[in-house]
Amino acid sequence: MSEGKPAGIGREDAWLEDAWLAEAWLEETAVEGALMGTDSSRRRRRRYAALVAPRPRRHPAIAQPSPLAASGPFVVDSPIGALAVGRRNGHLVADWLVNGAAAPPCASDDLAALETVARIRAYLAGDFSSLDALPVGNGTPFQRSVWTASRRIPFGETRTYLWVAHELGGGHALCRAIGQALRRNPLPVVVPCHRVVAASGLGGYAGAREGAMTSIKRGLIDFEARVASQEFEARCPSSWFAPLAGC
């Protein structure tokens, strides 16, 4: 269990506290599983319900209620945007709530959705490895290979569509199909399709080349770059490089 709240990114407000609590829940669940040899669904649901109990504070830039609704769609709020986790045709999905988009439905005791929400919140708190344990979404073998390749892009970095093509053993001719596969990614953030950019710029996101969706893509890229920079600074303080300043 975490001993205290992290310093976080920016000021400690409601959305960051939610993310920290979600991370703590994941740690406790892992410890419990190791001690008992099995996961207890009832205990996991009860612990998660306690962690996400409504609190009055909210980030001022967020319009959606936080944290999770008692039933229906699970909405993860952040300054980047509101991401709703649910089910579509029985498969787990995550939708950005922009331009009047409706959140996908989800049962209140859906443990896979609960874990996905908890790990996304931990990611938003700066835990860039929290999403690694989650599988990619439902899709064709080719789509899943593209999504898996995008997960090999390091946190805080970007790669081009051609880079993904090379990862799959192809070249320029494959780039268009890769773009279509990324457009159909059912689990944005979990599968970091935002890290794939055009050779000449940002590129599209979820089928859009401008507007709210591309703003979210830019926000995710900037967020990861900032966290990665802080992580590097923590491991390698700038004072280490001071003697080289005059070189």
**Among candidates 94, 102, 34, which has minimal Cα distance to 220?**
94
Q: What mean pLDDT comes out for the span 126-140?
A: 93
Q: Do residues 196 and 184 lie in contact, with contact meaning Cβ atoms separated by under 8 Å?
A: no
105 lies in the same domain as 184: no
Q: Are residues 34 and 74 in the same domain?
A: yes
104, pLDDT greater than 70: yes
- Do 118 and 18 lie in one domain? The reply is yes
Share of the chain above pLDDT 90, in %: 54
- pLDDT for the residue 69: 39
Residue with the two structure tokens 């959140």:
103
pTM above 0.85, yes or no: no
**Residue 208 clears pLDDT 60, i.e. is over it:** yes
Bigger pLDDT: 165 vs 54: 165
Boundaries of domain holding 182 = 141-235
Task: Name the residues annotated as catalytic.
Answer: 193
Q: Is residue 174 part of a domain?
A: yes
Residues 184, 193: Cα–Cα separation, whole Å: 10
pLDDT at 199: 93
CA-to-CA separations, 74 to 87, 106, 190, 222, in angstroms, rounded: 10, 7, 15, 25
pLDDT of the residue at 232: 64
Q: What count of other Cβ atoms lies within 10 Å of the Cβ of residue 40? A: 13
End-of-domain residue from the set 124, 157, 176: 124
Same domain, 24 and 80: yes
Mean pLDDT of 149-173: 96
Same domain, 69 and 96: yes
Domain count, the chain: 2
Q: Residue 158 belongs to a domain with what CATH number? A: 1.10.10.10
Distance CA 182, CA 150 (A): 9
Q: Tens of pLDDT along 134-160?
A: 999 999 999 999 999 999 999 999 999
Q: Is there a contact between 186 and 92 (Cβ–Cβ < 8 Å)?
A: yes
Residue 130 to residue 113: CA distance in whole angstroms: 15
In a domain, 130, yes or no: no
Q: Residue 243: is the preceding peptide bond cis (ω within 30°)?
A: no
pLDDT in tens, 6-22: 444 444 445 445 555 55
